[in-house]
Structure 1
Amino acid sequence: MKKVLLLLANGFEFFEASVFIDVIGWNLEEGDNSTKLYTCGVTKEVKSSFDQTLVVDYRIDEIDVNDFDALALPGGFEVYGFYNDAYSDKFLDLIRAFRTGNKVIASICVGALPLAKSGVLKGKNGTTYRSTVRREALQNFGVNVLDQPIVLDDQLITSWNPSTAVDVALLLLELLTTKENAEKVRKLMGF
């Protein structure tokens, strides 16, 4: 069983998180049955953008990176405190540990920024939300910013906004299983 850890910061976007939950879950039930997703946050309860609360499976300090095959990070809104958790030492250290373990890391929208701040994207190609401020921040972290919807560089996936979310989750599934399996799940989900 391939295990995906969905890392959530306070202020995360529920839609961007939900695509990972659904794609990995659809694969568990209707695809090749080889993936399972678990949620994680700095605290046991994580508040999303727009103030919904999710109780996660694990707190960061309970995670053994060796138990997981991939990390998924949705973006979020600054006004809901996204960067408070996403730029915290615990959050960044967990990202670095996944990278050290040579695991796939998938992010959506500004989920690329904690990847970049952690240093795992330094010298790599990437993208993020299509605003000057966010792209400059990514570039200032040493990332070669590309103007394309999804960028895959050395098992690191970044994307530019919520419209890319389903494709990012399916690319993650493809990297964990096969292209054929990911296409099967895509069709079953109607995309």
Structure 2
Amino acid sequence: MVVANELAGKRVAFMVAPEGAEQVELTEPWRAVQEAGGRPALISTSGGKIQAFNHLDRGDTFPVDHVVTDVSADDFDALVLPGGVANPDFLRMNAYAVRFAGTFFAQHKPVAAICHASWTLVEADVVRGRRMTSWPSLRTDLRNAGADWVDEEVVVDNGFVTSRKPDDLPAFCGKLVEEFAEGKHREQATSA
């Protein structure tokens, strides 16, 4: 359950490639952050607008707030990585996007990733030793990268929130707000 003003003053980066994000995996967490009083910002690898998708059909476009080369994790309190098959595949091929995502982990800031989004985190080499979930087809990739992959609706591992698919969005949104409200996760910060 999202509580109004739970995220008051928190800036949350949503990183999305110019094409390929699953629209509902962008819009539902965005709405949860806003309803909790947070300030979401859309980050992409280029300016202008991003094209979202409803599975394989084009969805809406959304204006980019910042290009990833112009911001850093220092500018934000948390990161959300929406899924979609193409979105993380494009992001993991961009060194700036990979570095941006990895820095949130290095700074012990909370991160939430749903569906295929964890591909970007495999590239950032931050899933090793983490308990997590994803779209089932990523299971082998994540295990090969050292993650403890499980098939559950939502998994939280020291400030890192993951879910499998759009059906998991209610649980995913609730847990990401909870973790983002906490900020730097105590266990994660002390285990580094």
Structure 2 partner of 1:11 = 20
**Structure-to-structure mapping, 1:54-133, within 5 angstroms:** 54-78=62-86, 82-131=88-137
Equivalent residue in structure 1 for 2:44, among 25, 41, 60: 41
Whole-Å Cα distance in 1 between the matches of residues 68 and 89 of structure 2? 16
Counterpart of 2:61 in structure 1 is 53
5+ residue gaps, structure 1, are 29-34, 179-191
The structure-2 alpha-carbon separation of the partners of 1:82 and 1:101, relative to structure 1 and needing over 3 Å to count, comes to closer
- CA distance in structure 2 between the partners assigned to 1:83 and 1:13 by the alignment: 13
TM-score by length of 2: 0.81
Measured after TM superposition, the shift of residue 82 of structure 1 is 4.5
Contact 1:112/1:159, CA 8 A, preserved across alignment: no
Alignment deviations for residues 107-143 of structure 1 (CA, whole Å, 9 cap, x no partner): 1111122112211111211111023xx2111112221
Amino acid at match of 1:129: W
Conserved in 2, the CA contact under 8 Å of 1:6 and 1:20?
Answer: no
**Matched AA of 1:105:** V
> Which of these residues, 12, 20, 25, is aligned with residue 34 of structure 2?
25
Number of residues paired by the alignment? Answer: 168
TM-score, with structure 1 as normaliser: 0.81
CA distance in 2, matches of 1:165, 1:116: 22
Give the match for residue 148 of structure 1.
152
More strand by share: 2
Closer, same or farther in 2 for the Cα pair 1:114/1:173, shift >3 Å? same
Superposed CA deviations along residues 14-40 of structure 1, whole A, max 9, x for unmatched, are: 100001211111122xxxxxx211111
**What is the alpha-carbon distance in structure 1 between the residues aligned to residue 39 and residue 64 of structure 2?**
14
Aligned-pair Cα RMSD in Å: 1.6
- CA shift for structure 1 position 61: 0.8
Percent identity over the alignment is: 24
